[in-house]
Amino acid sequence: MSAGAQILVVEDNEKNMKLFRDVLLAAGYRTLEATTGGEAVALALEHSPDLVLMDIQLPDIDGVEALGRLRADGRTASVPVLALTAQAMEGDRERFLAAGFDGYISKPVNVADFVSTVKRYCESHSRSTS
């Protein structure tokens, strides 16, 4: 059951953040929002969200570094983290999976695909932790 799941959205682009927020709230999720990598790590450690959507290019530490910090802490080590990036270049998917991301969403997002991907990862996380 993923209804009401809490999703941490890490995105420094205001327009993208608004879209993700609107779509996730409409789908019944609760959101936490961070615009920097440092803020993302602090919020994740405090709230242990059900899923993290992590932009790669951020103003301070990048999404890969932020992911490393989450994986290094027992409170967030097993939280699913999806890379959220515009770098839709050949080989990027493999690069982000190798870095430890659970999956990958490329921007601009297709809203229906975005929601179904979020739903899938929230459900797999709640199964694995129940």
Query: Would you tell me which residues interact with Mn ion (CB under 5 A)?
Result: 12, 55, 57
Phi-psi map region of 100: left, alpha, beta (phi>0 left; psi -120 to 50 alpha): left
Nearer to Mn ion, 5 or 84 (CB): 84
Residue of closest CB approach to Mn ion? 57
Instruction: Give min distance, CB of 10 to Mn ion, in A.
Output: 9
- The DSSP annotation for 3-47 comes to TT-EEEEE---HHHHHHHHHHHHHTT-EEEEESSHHHHHHHHHHH
Instruction: Give min distance, CB of 123 to Mn ion, in A.
Output: 27
Instruction: Give min distance, CB of 57 to Mn ion, in A.
Output: 4
